[in-house]
Amino acid sequence: MSPFILRSIWLRILVVLALSIVIWWFIAYLNGLLIGEEYSRASHFIIAVMTTILTMFLLQTTLKIDKIQWKHLGHRTFKKNISSFSLGFSLWLIPAAMGTIICLVLGWSEIILNTTINNLLFSILILFITVFLIEALPEEFIFRGYIYRYLNGVFPHWVTILLQSLMFSLFAFSIGAMYSVEQLQFTPGFAIILGVFRSISGTMWISIGFHVGMMTATQILGPVHGHFEVNGMMTLQFFAFILLPSIVGATVLSFIYHNHNWGKIEPLELHK
């Protein structure tokens, strides 16, 4: 690969990373104006829609300049995307449910419901859509889609996974999402897990399904929504929401995509 192409790829990656940070800064500013200190379900949803719109506009503009199609990022037909999303969501949901039962039975965690089932289900539905639009879809399209694909044009999959995790962590730090030791420990590992799923499957829609499942469950149990009182949340998150689904997910995908080559570099033809 010529030095010009290599510089061109890195320039594209860094520009998209920088503009993504600017988008999230802008969204945070709007969030302060619309929501302020008090959580609002409607305002949160509006912010989520705007996040996705701005992200898709950024990527569409970049791909048009590069003369690259969406399919090169791991975006397939609608039917295949839905199938991949469902698989990713199931790879989180089933092990997470089993892990939650284990935590409750062994007394590692305790969950007390403080609302009606109908209210809870409606809240989960709205939060699921909001998390999909404000976190899972835009972040996965940027980091496990665009950035991953361009990095993999230079580096093998295993190196690409580490580099995209580093960039995702830099992104999270820049937008103020790494505000505690727990987040500092969680974010790079979560990005590696999502990168592994993207690498094995060849599509970011599996990582989108996994991402939205875990973050919806984590947030719905939080005190902001007021639906639950949870004791042992850290244990529940680590064992049931992260460890088991990650192990099961990587194992299942390795069986499905058994010909995956971790050392493969997939060159991407760029127009000068």
- Return the beta strands (E) in 108-227 as ranges: 110-113
- Does residue 271 surpass a pLDDT of 70? no
> Is there a contact between 236 and 103 (Cβ–Cβ < 8 Å)?
yes
Dig out the tokens for 107 from the structure.
């007394």
The pTM of the full predicted model, rounded to 2 decimals, is 0.94
In whole angstroms, what is the distance from residue 111 CA to residue 82 CA?
32
CA nearest 148: which of 167, 135, 170, 174? 167
In whole angstroms, what is the distance from residue 256 CA to residue 260 CA?
10
> Is there a contact between 206 and 55 (Cβ–Cβ < 8 Å)?
no
Dihedrals phi, psi of 110, to nearest 5 degrees: -140, 130
Dig out the tokens for 162 from the structure.
């580490």
CA 198 to chain centre: 11
- Does residue 261 surpass a pLDDT of 80? yes
What is the pLDDT at residue 40? 73
Beta bridge partners of 136: none
- Return the beta strands (E) in the chain as ranges: 110-113, 228-231
Q: What angle do CA 184, 207, 81 make, to 5 degrees?
A: 160
The string of pLDDT tens digits covering residues 230-250 is: 999 999 999 999 999 999 999
The string of pLDDT tens digits covering residues 36-83 is: 666 777 788 889 999 999 999 999 999 999 888 898 898 999 999 999
What is the pLDDT at residue 41? 77
What is the pLDDT at residue 31? 80
